[in-house]
Amino acid sequence: MPFRLIGNNILPNSCPNKYQKDEFLLKFIGKERFSTIEHNVTRWAEEKGIPISLRGIMTQSTRAHRLALKARKIGGQRLQTPLVSAIFKATNQDGKDISDFDVLAELAEESGVMGKADTIEFLKSDELEKEVNDLCNAARSKGITGVPITIIDEKWAVSGGQSSDVYIQIFKKLAAAGVHAAPSPFPSSLVHTCTGDGSDDSD
């Protein structure tokens, strides 16, 4: 499910100004919160051996989401997964502008989704824009305010990069509740959020 951290009202798709990530985030969330996020992201990246950077171009992600959805429609996860990985690397490691037609076209071609010309033609259209907007709005309506997040069985939402132990605890709870053998006791729209220690904070 696509999710936009920054709304179009704050950062439009065709914004004429290009912002540096750190400058934009400092203005948008403040120095204290930015420092905390930068510290946590840097520490996590070092632990995992992934060179994530909060530097580079800050742009709206709608076009990248549209392209990822297009890849899924063309070839399912077989095409979508390598494209999404390439997009993440481009923005989080290389600091590239993932709203730029040429950047996305190159990523699409390298990932085997579409050629550059076809990708640019697609991006210049409004194809799948409504679908992406609807999916982003649906995520917000479920109370999702950040990523990454994993939703399990429409009832549990695991925020952040969690260990396998957290997922094991959730699967055990779901199995004990017999949710697959009987109707769920919860409303279909209810999403329980699991905290980092595996506890349920939905009460």
Conformational region of residue 143, where left means phi above 0, alpha means psi within -120 to 50, and beta covers everything else:
left
How far is the C-alpha of 17 from the C-alpha of 105, rounded, in Å? 21
Flag whether pLDDT at 12 surpasses 60. Answer: yes
Flag whether pLDDT at 192 surpasses 60. Answer: no
Percent of residues in the chain assigned helix, strand, coil, to nearest 5: 50, 10, 40
Q: Residue 113 gets which letter from DSSP?
A: S
Flag whether pLDDT at 170 surpasses 60. Answer: yes
Flag whether pLDDT at 186 surpasses 50. Answer: no
How far is the C-alpha of 156 from the C-alpha of 7, rounded, in Å? 25
145 and 108 Cβ atoms separated by less than 8 Å? no
* C-alpha 75, offset from chain centre: 20
Pick from 185, 150, 154, 144: nearest CA to 166: 150
Confidence grade of residue 168 (pLDDT, cut at 50, 70, 90): confident
Pick from 107, 131, 97: nearest CA to 13: 97
Q: What is the pLDDT of residues 43-75, one digit of tens each?
A: 888 887 888 888 898 888 999 999 999 999 999
Flag whether pLDDT at 29 surpasses 50. Answer: yes
Q: What percent of the chain has pLDDT over 70?
A: 83
179 versus 162: which is more confidently predicted? 162
Tell me what the mean pLDDT of segment 93-111 comes to.
95
How far is the C-alpha of 200 from the C-alpha of 203, rounded, in Å? 7
Tell me what the mean pLDDT of segment 108-131 comes to.
97
What is the C-alpha radius of gyration for the chain, rounded to an integer number of angstroms? 19
Q: Residue 23 gets which letter from DSSP?
A: H
Q: What percent of the chain has pLDDT over 90?
A: 36
Q: What is the pLDDT of residues 69-99, one digit of tens each?
A: 999 999 999 999 999 999 999 999 999 999 9
The pTM score is 0.75
Query: CA-CA distances (angstroms) from residue 178 to 175, 181, 182, 184, 189?
Result: 5, 5, 6, 9, 19
Q: What pLDDT score was predicted for residue 179?
A: 56
Q: What pLDDT score was predicted for residue 174?
A: 78
Dihedral of alpha carbons 124, 80, 162, 36, sign:
negative
Domain residues of the chain, as ranges? 1-10+60-141, 19-58, 149-194
How far is the C-alpha of 13 from the C-alpha of 162, rounded, in Å? 31
